[in-house]
Amino acid sequence: MSGSEPFDPAEMVGRFADRAASVKRRQIPPVEGEARREFIRQAELDFRDFAMLADAEAELDDGVLVLRIDLRGPS
């Protein structure tokens, strides 16, 4: 990985939390029918993916980004 700033896994996870919140606020454009259903379906997938990554425990392990996401649900 290159760049002037060191990579911070916690900051990356925070950005995914911001993305999930942004998807929740997203307005549905003035489309109808199949295009509307597809927009809503994609927004639901985007939210789920971003929210899962926002809940991840992230760490760098010898230069490898490791994301740990508990999918077992509440106890």
Number of structural domains found in the chain: 1
Q: State which residues form the domain around 15.
A: 9-68
Q: What is the length of the chain?
A: 75
Residue of 48, 42, 18, 17 whose CA lies nearest to 29: 42
Is residue 75 a part of any domain in this protein? no
Contacts of 69 (CB under 8 A, 6+ apart): 52, 53, 55, 56, 57
Is residue 14 a part of any domain in this protein? yes
Is residue 1 a part of any domain in this protein? no
Q: What pLDDT does 3 receive?
A: 65
If residue 61 lies in a helix (H) or strand (E), which one and from where to where? Answer: strand 57-61
Q: Is the pLDDT of residue 1 over 60?
A: no
Tell me the C-alpha distance between 7 and 23, whole Å: 25
What pLDDT, in 10s, does the model give residues 6-20?
Answer: 889 999 999 999 999
What pLDDT, in 10s, does the model give residues 20-75?
Answer: 999 999 999 899 999 999 999 999 999 999 999 999 999 999 999 999 999 887 87
Is residue 44 a part of any domain in this protein? yes
Where is pLDDT greater, at 3 or 4? Answer: 4
